Each structure stands twice: as C-alpha cells, then as structure tokens.
Amino acid sequence: MAVINMAAKYKTTVKEPGTPGVLRMSEDKFIFVPNDPRSAMKLNVNFRNIKGHKFSKDGSKQALLNLTQDSEKGGGYIFEFDNFSDRNVCRDFVGKVLGKFQAVTSSRQNEQPVPEKPAATVHSEQLSTTEMERRMKLLWEDSELQKLHKQFVIGGVLTESEFWATRKSLLDDVVQRTPKQRAGFRSAMLADVRPSTDGRTNKVTFSLTPEIIHQIFAEKPAVHRAFLNFVPIKMTEKDFWTKYCRAEYLHRTKNSVAAAAEAAEDEELAVFLKHDDILANEARCKIRRVDPTLDMEADLGDDYIHLPDHGILRDGSKETADAENELARRTLSQDLNRHATVVLEGRALDVELGDTRTAAEALARSKQELCTETSDEKTNQERLEKVSRMTEIEDLQAPHSLPYAPLCIKDPREYFDSQQANAVKALGDTGAGIKPVDFSLKTEEAYTYLLEQISEVKVRGLNNLVVQPEATLKVLNGLNPYLSSTKYHLGKKPQECVLDMLPNRTKDELLHHWTSIQELLRHFWSSYPITTAYLYNKVLRLKDAMTHIYHKLQEIKEAVQSDFRHQVSLLVQPMLQALDAAFAHYDTEQQKQSTKSGNKPNGFVQ
C-alpha cells in the first residue's frame, strides 16, 4: 500500500484550534510533522496502538478524523482537514490498515502483549487485497486459528507465508464456496400482480419491479417472447407493460366479453390473453419423460370409457366445463402449477436484474441450452432404477447403501463440546440427574462380577472358550492399570472426560499447547531434509519455540493441584514425547551435519 501525505491540523481535543502540519500515513504507522518546526506536537504513532477511528459526517462543520487509542492509554489523535474529500482519503486508508490489524489486535485482550519482532515483517510478501481479506475472514471465523496465528506469526516463529502454506485448502475452500450459493426464486407469487386503487378515482395502479418482471418472463414464455419481439422495435417498454397490465386487469375481473372485444381490436394485447402455446409444447415434451408410475396421460387411451359418449356423462362427478372461449381458459390452478414449477426449476441465470432487456435475453439463452440437453437413454435408465427402488418395501429387507455426503465440521472440538454441553444440560433439565449415579453403581457391580468370574475361571478353568485366554489376559492387563487409576475419578458419568475436571485455565492452556505443538511439529518435520539456509533458520526458530512450550508444559505439570497431577501428566506425556522425538531428531541431524562438514567453521549448510 502506498503512503499518504495530507495537510491537516492536529488537536488533542475537538474544541482547540489545533496545530497545522502534514499527516503522513504508511502501512504500519502515521507521522505528524507540524508546519512550525519548533512545535512540540510531533507524532510518530504505530497503528498497532490504534483501536478504531471516528469521523464527522460529510457536510458537518468540521472535517474531522479521530484515531482512538487503547482505552487504558486514554485519548486519541484528532485531525482536522481542510475539506471532506481529503479527510475521506485518509479515513479510507486508516480503515484498511486497521482492518488488517484487527485480527491481531482483537485477540490481544486477555493475553499479555507479545514482544514484537521486526523479523515478522521481513518476509511479508506482496498480497492482493482479496487474498488478505480471505485470510482475515478465516482468522475471524476460527478463534483457534487466530490464536495460533498470533502466537507464531506475530511471535516471529513462522512467517506469514509459511503459516498459510499449510492451509491452502482452507483458502481455496472459501474461494469455491462463495459463488456457489445462488438465490432461487421467491416462493411468493410475484407474477400475480395485484392492482391497487386509490379509492377516489377509477384509476388502477400496477407496480412492477425487476424481480417481478423476471418472474413474469420465467412463468409466461409467451409474454417473454412478445417482449423480445416487440420491444423496442414496435413499442417502448413502458407501452409493453401497460398493455400487459391491461390484459391482466381484464383477466382478473373475469370479464371475458370485454377481454374478447379488446383482444379482437388489439393483436398485441391478444398475445397476453391467449393460451400459451410455448407452454403446451413444453408440456408435450416433458410428459414423455415423466415417471411411468404416475403417467395418467397414458390412461387416456387405454380404457374405452374415455371415448366420447361412453360411460356415465352427467352424474355430478365429472364436470364438463366447456371451453366456450379460448381466451378465458387460464385459471388460477394453472397459474399456481406453473409458478411452482418455475420455482422448483430454479433461477438459471446470473444477471443483475436491473435491465429488463438483458434479463429477457439471458433467459432466452438459458432456455436454449435447456432444450438441447436431452439424453433420453440415461434418464430412462435412471427412471427405471427409481421405479424399481420405489416398488420395494423398505422394512422387509436390508437397507440400501445410499450415496451420502460426508459430514464436514469446521471446528470439531467446538461442535462436540457444545453438543455435549447441550446433552448434559438436557439431562439435567429432564430431571434424569440420578442416572449417572445409577450407572456408576452398575459399573462397580460389573467390575466385582467380572472379578468373581475371573477368579472362578482361574480356579476351574474355561470349559468352552469364547475367546483365547491369552488374548483376554492381555486385554484385561491393558485395561486394569487404566481402570485402577481412573476408577474413582472417571466413568462416573459417561459424558464426562478428564479435561472437564481440570480447572478451566489449565484446560485451555493444555488444549492450546496441544494445537500449538501440532502446528510446530508439522512445520518442523516438513522442513527436513534441510537443504537451504532458510530452512535451517526456520528449524532453529521452531526448536526455540518448542523448547519454550516444553518448559511451559513442565510448569503446568508442576503447578497443577496434586489430585489432578496424575491426569495432567497422562495428558501431557504424549505431547512431551512428541517434542522429545523432535528434539532427538534435531540433535542427531545436527551431529550428522557437524561430522559431515566438520571443517566448516560455522556449520551452516550452504
């Protein structure tokens, strides 16, 4: 990002006149140099210390920009600009810079500030703003990731690019996901425009929005075709819609005589009132692809009762509504069916709904594509499969393995924790709190029972072997130490785990360290074999960070209360082991290097 220089007045409060000077803003700090070199009002402030910014409204008395500092440090830096456009340039710039730092600063609340190392910014690469935004969004959404980022990137252990390199898939996911979601049609019948009257005159008002027009096009292909044909060659768009509304009005009032008269006079108007032949064609095309188990059209020719004049004509069940008038045939039911069909098909185009003409053309294009894709064979096959699947009675046989989409939980731990919490809460609510006690009794009973059984078997031996005795013994031995250690602390409630019993702080720390170690180890192991100086440095940095955590873990282990110490050490053990393995690897590598290139005084691999 560029650097901005702008003339401004600096003031400590809004009231005072202020010191004129030049405000110079760069990516990480802003400098104010007063015009009068003797003035003491020089400023050199890092943006990290800025919490937010306020500004006066455009057109208000003064063009102010207030960069507020952390609350505990108090106050802010107020700048007055000559005009609003200058102010706005600065405001936008500050907004961007602050936005960038927000991810970092927001996580700073309950932690002590991490010493800043200039090394962190050395490796910063040129990034597009979209990329930046994406990363920031990810950090925002995932608090854990944010913590890691803060600890390692800001802490200088990893560079920004190193950190993100292992998370490319996450970034790509975000990219892919955004455009996929496409809004469909609204369920409401917009095309059924209702006129409003003002009550005094006979005037009727229809109001059409681009959304409504789009729906009209989709639901009434005849209107759509007419629009493409007539506008703007034959009439203006306004005339077109006036005519349409007029036709709709005639239709609504069910005044078929008037409608017929108007249609006879005006052929363009007649288009709107006539039966839609495009729809009829579409229906004919679609009916061939319909599921044969609900194809009622096939019946028409199959029984002779449907021949004219056969069967009982007038017994009240069949109502012969004679189509006396071609114009009055469109009914509400047809409209409803058509509307639901269109909604179900979904919106097939991605144009802005602003311009009617482009929307109409895009719709026409998408329709053409739709018509050409007809792979009859395949659909037929699918249909047959579906029919055979539907005929089967489901509970009389083994379930089918249906294709499923894998469940994707972004933050599994958070999800399961919350689920567990809910479950526990629900249990408490329903008054089933006695249940866990019950359960523990049962385990004890089971335990004693098992003991008895085992002793019995020891005495008498097994007659009929269900399992191999060696295997059983092995399993029992494996289980026993665990049982003995956790018997009195664990297993009382099935939903409980060791972590929940620890003090909150210890638990959080442990979890946090665990993720940090994972992150570090991932980077550590991926750095081998060391081929460049850069990697060497990285490993060094990683090793330092790991040692730091190692010590922290030891501290936790010691600081924890005695009754939890065993559990904590159990938890910490695998972490320490993993770290030990890494250190061991590092040491052997180091030795190898030194023996191989012992003559090189600095030990660096070039």
Which residue, 60 or 334, has its beta carbon nearer to another protein? 334
- Host H or E run for residue 265: helix 256-265
- The encoded tokens of residue 569 equal 């050490």
Handedness of CA 161, 166, 170, 171 (dihedral sign): positive
- The encoded tokens of residue 436 equal 């866990």
Rounded least distance, CB 144 to another protein, Å: 32
Q: Which residue, 83, 77, 79, is CA-closest to 59?
A: 83
Which residue, 134 or 339, has its beta carbon nearer to another protein? 339
Tell me the one-letter amino acid at 276.
Answer: D
What gap in Å lies between CA 50 and CA 73, rounded to an integer? Answer: 10
Rounded least distance, CB 300 to another protein, Å: 6
DSSP string covering 486-534: HTTTSSSSTT--HHHHS-HHHHHHHHHHHHHHHHHHHHHHHHPSP-SHH
Which residue, 391 or 477, has its beta carbon nearer to another protein? 391
Rounded least distance, CB 313 to another protein, Å: 4
Rounded least distance, CB 333 to another protein, Å: 4
Which residue, 186 or 596, has its beta carbon nearer to another protein? 186
Rounded least distance, CB 425 to another protein, Å: 19
Which residue, 113 or 316, has its beta carbon nearer to another protein? 316
What gap in Å lies between CA 143 and CA 103, rounded to an integer? Answer: 10
Which residue, 250 or 572, has its beta carbon nearer to another protein? 250
Rounded least distance, CB 281 to another protein, Å: 12
- 473-477: which pairs have CB atoms within 8 A and are 24 or more residues apart? none
Which residue, 14 or 287, has its beta carbon nearer to another protein? 287
Rounded least distance, CB 307 to another protein, Å: 7
Note the residues at the interface with another protein (CB under 8 A).
Answer: 187-189, 283-284, 286-287, 290-317, 319, 321, 331-334, 336-337, 339-341, 343-344, 380, 384, 387-388, 390-398
Which residue, 233 or 300, has its beta carbon nearer to another protein? 300
Length of the chain in terms of residues written: 606
Rounded least distance, CB 325 to another protein, Å: 13
Tell me the one-letter amino acid at 559.
Answer: A
What gap in Å lies between CA 107 and CA 214, rounded to an integer? Answer: 46
How many other CB atoms are there within 10 angstroms of residue 272's CB atom? 25
Report how far Cα 91 is from the mean position of its chain's Cα atoms.
30
Q: What is the DSSP letter of 151?
A: I
Rg (CA), the chain: 38
Rounded least distance, CB 435 to another protein, Å: 19
Which residue, 104 or 208, has its beta carbon nearer to another protein? 208
The residues, any chain, with a CB within 8 Å of residue 331's CB and separated by 6 or more, are none
Tell me the one-letter amino acid at 381.
Answer: Q
Between CA 556 and CA 562, with CA 559 as vertex, the angle to 5 degrees is 115
